Chain A
Amino acid sequence: MPQDLPDEGQTPSTTRRALLTHLGAAGLAASLGPFALAEAPTDKSGTVAPTAPSGSLVEEATHVSAPTTLVPFALKVNGKTVRTTIDPRASLLDTLRESLHLTGTKKGCDHGQCGACTVHVDGKRVLSCLSLALASQGHEITTIEGLGTPQKMHPMQAAFVEHDGYQCGYCTSGQIMSAVALMKEPVGAEDTDVKEAMSGNICRCGAYANIVDAIQEVRKA
């Protein structure tokens, strides 16, 4: 979305996502009331043990499944180490999007069936929705934000633009992350080989033919 890709220097508050986030936060604050979260201790054995906070966690917030304590978390993403605190149950996907605000990675099915959340872990494509964030620590994560910028696109991004390898764009970052990783995998030369290797990325708009064209152009370059 153009609104989600502000020119450098433009403040994030002008983006559609930032506006929606503010509205969402305001709505949530109104329904939740005071909300206390404390940091969990780490015991000597290295076990991260979340405990229920001693304060009341607003009974009326029925959609909150269990009282949670945030745990310390450090992740190397796109070459930088970021530190924050997260719910120990959080997926890498939710952590990237909600805690680190790297929203280029998309949530589709959240159960490993669509590929929209594909990122690289130590250079290999994986599904961030099926990755426990805590278990991702110590690995190098690359998201679509680490691949290229609107001003300086990765060759695969440029090829997707060139070949119109999308319609609505929701699956696109996952498709591109998958396609970039595929370049280093043992995949045959034919279109059918690319289709097989890309079968974990579903495109509801059906831009498959153009996606294959884009990938093949980069592979042949």
Chain B
Amino acid sequence: MTLFTYAKAESVKDAVGREGRFLAGGTGLYDLMKLDVERPEALVDVSGLPLEGIERTSDGGLKIGAVARNAAVAHHPEVFKGYPVLSQAILQGASGQIRNMASTAGNLLQRTRCVYFRDVDMPCNKREPGSGCSAIEGYHKNLAILGVSEKCIASNPSDQNVALMALGATVHIQGPKGQRTIPIGEFYRLPGDTPHIETALGKGELVTHVSLPPLPQGTKSLYLKLRDRASYEFALASTAAIVTMKDGRMDDVRLAMGGVGSIPWRAKEAEAILKGQAPSPDLFQKAGEATFRGATPHEGNAFKVELGRRCLIQALTLATTPSAQEKA
């Protein structure tokens, strides 16, 4: 690990004014520093800043502080009851210990689990631009089939971010030049020719919180995650589904997928097919096919076209089928 300076930020203003990387939970950054993948010269510890709050906003939505820990978010009554999709996504990610450490903004900026990105002895365009991609010809079972490029097929490993994408969250940022907001749909960058540029976040900018819009009454939301083992494993495919029914039709549908995309993947084609329609297996099938029509699978992850399609269909089925409790 390279040497670095360490400072505890005393305020958001103090943090933004300092050169260096922001450290919150450390589960991502510090892990990658041990592997020499991340080599910050300075760490600015923001874990103690008063950015932990989770509270209702005036428009009926929810504001989640950047350093609110994943466990605190998932178990918060407003999230647990009001945004089940986010609670379920977080609780299906990582382990109890890691969820106590990982922060909302840290999770938002989580790096890929591509084995070549984590191995400094191997070429990787994301880690070292221009060095090549080892994954395309190598091990890529856990990597993306949507939004990939010839330079990079890394997947975004987060569950939280899939839920935030479906919810249409807004990322609130404080930078050296002031505050700004970015809709999450514009926060992540496709790899293209510059896989090392992952988000719209600028130099010195600090995420202060994430806000969620209010969900219409009667909206059902859930997160379905498919993986190699039942717990403590990254998604091979996952779906965040948010459906509002009205008179037997899907008045609003918001879908995002994890495990299959280079970024948390909003399934817009599927949403367009489903919106305003009555739910049916045929329609869900069409939505699933549309989502993966533009997929670029490789030998080791071609199974994700079928798995992803089934994942989306199953999530839609669950989101539109009244539970025994609801029927009663």
When A110-B34, A112-B27 are in contact, do A125 and B97 touch as well, CB less than 8 Å? Answer: yes
When A112-B31, A135-B47 are in contact, do A66 and B3 touch as well, CB less than 8 Å? Answer: yes
Please state if A199 and B95 are interface contacts (CB–CB under 8 Å). Answer: yes
- A97 CB, min distance to chain B CBs, angstroms: 16
Please state if B75 and A46 are interface contacts (CB–CB under 8 Å). Answer: no
Please state if B231 and A199 are interface contacts (CB–CB under 8 Å). Answer: yes
Range of interface residues on A (Cβ < 8 Å) = 35 or more
* Chain B hits for A195, CB < 8 A: 231
Q: Is the interface of A mostly helix, strand, loop or mixed?
A: loop
- A188 CB, min distance to chain B CBs, angstroms: 12
Instruction: Give B14's nearest chain A residue, CB to CB.
Output: A45
Q: Which of A65, A130, A178, A197 contacts B27 (CB 8 A)?
A: A130
* Chain A hits for B45, CB < 8 A: 132, 134-135
* Chain B hits for A159, CB < 8 A: none
* Chain B hits for A196, CB < 8 A: 230-231
A-contacting 9-mer, from B4-12, B282-290, B291-299: B4-12
Please state if A200 and B97 are interface contacts (CB–CB under 8 Å). Answer: yes
Within 8 A of A (CB), among B1-25: 1-8, 10, 23, 25
Give Cα distance in the complex from A66 to B39, angstroms: 13
Please state if B5 and A48 are interface contacts (CB–CB under 8 Å). Answer: yes
Please state if B100 and A124 are interface contacts (CB–CB under 8 Å). Answer: yes
When A110-B34, A132-B26 are in contact, do A49 and B5 touch as well, CB less than 8 Å? Answer: yes
When A125-B96, A195-B231 are in contact, do A130 and B26 touch as well, CB less than 8 Å? Answer: yes
Q: Which of B30, B43, B230 contacts A130 (CB 8 A)?
A: B30
Please state if B6 and A65 are interface contacts (CB–CB under 8 Å). Answer: no
A contact residues vs B (CB 8 Å cutoff): 45-50, 65-66, 68, 88-89, 91, 110-112, 115, 118, 121, 124-127, 130-132, 134-135, 138, 178, 181-182, 185-186, 195-201
Please state if B98 and A178 are interface contacts (CB–CB under 8 Å). Answer: no
8 contacts between A and B (CB under 8 A): A89-B3, A91-B30, A115-B95, A135-B6, A135-B23, A135-B45, A135-B47, A200-B96
Please state if A200 and B98 are interface contacts (CB–CB under 8 Å). Answer: yes
B94 within 8 A of A: yes
- B257 CB, min distance to chain A CBs, angstroms: 23
Interface flags, B94-122, vs A, CB<8A=1, else 0: 11111011000000000000000000000
Please state if B98 and A127 are interface contacts (CB–CB under 8 Å). Answer: yes
Interface flags, B209-236, vs A, CB<8A=1, else 0: 0000000000000000000001110000
Please state if A47 and B97 are interface contacts (CB–CB under 8 Å). Answer: no
* Chain B hits for A115, CB < 8 A: 95, 97
Please state if A46 and B98 are interface contacts (CB–CB under 8 Å). Answer: no
Give Cα distance in the complex from A200 to B32, angstroms: 19
Please state if A126 and B31 are interface contacts (CB–CB under 8 Å). Answer: no
Please state if B101 and A127 are interface contacts (CB–CB under 8 Å). Answer: yes
When A68-B3, A131-B26 are in contact, do A186 and B75 touch as well, CB less than 8 Å? Answer: yes
* Chain B hits for A48, CB < 8 A: 5-7
Please state if B43 and A199 are interface contacts (CB–CB under 8 Å). Answer: no
Give Cα distance in the complex from A146 to B231, angstroms: 29
Give Cα distance in the complex from A68 to B1, angstroms: 11
Give Cα distance in the complex from A130 to B38, angstroms: 14
* Chain A hits for B35, CB < 8 A: 111
Please state if A178 and B5 are interface contacts (CB–CB under 8 Å). Answer: no
Instruction: Give B43's nearest chain A residue, CB to CB.
Output: A132
When A186-B75, A200-B95 are in contact, do A134 and B100 touch as well, CB less than 8 Å? Answer: no
Please state if A130 and B6 are interface contacts (CB–CB under 8 Å). Answer: no
